[in-house]
Amino acid sequence: MSALPQSRQLERLEQSSAEELLEWALAHFGGSLAIVTAFQAEGMVIVDLAARISPHVRVLTLDTGRLPEETYRMIETVRERYGVGVEMVAPDTAEVEAMVARHGPNLFYREVALRNLCCQIRKVRPLERSLRGLRAWVTGLRREQNESRADVRKVEDVDGKLKLNPLADWTAGQVSDYIRRHNVPMHPLYAAGYRSIGCAPCTRAVNPGDDARAGRWWWEQDAAKECGIHFAPDGKAERKLDVLLNEILEAKRA
Catalytic residue among 118, 119, 199, 227: 227
Which stretches does DSSP call E strand in 99-247?
Answer: 136-138, 155-158, 161-164
Contact assessment for residue 94 and residue 252, using Cβ atoms and an 8 Å cutoff: yes
Distance separating alpha carbons of residues 176 and 10, to the nearest angstrom:
28
Alpha-helical segments (H) within 168-253:
172-182, 235-253
DSSP state of 151: T
Tell me whether residue 227 is one of the annotated catalytic residues. Answer: yes
Q: Which residues contact 245 (CB under 8 A, 6 or more apart)?
A: 117, 120, 121
Contact assessment for residue 195 and residue 56, using Cβ atoms and an 8 Å cutoff: no
Q: Which residues are catalytic?
A: 227
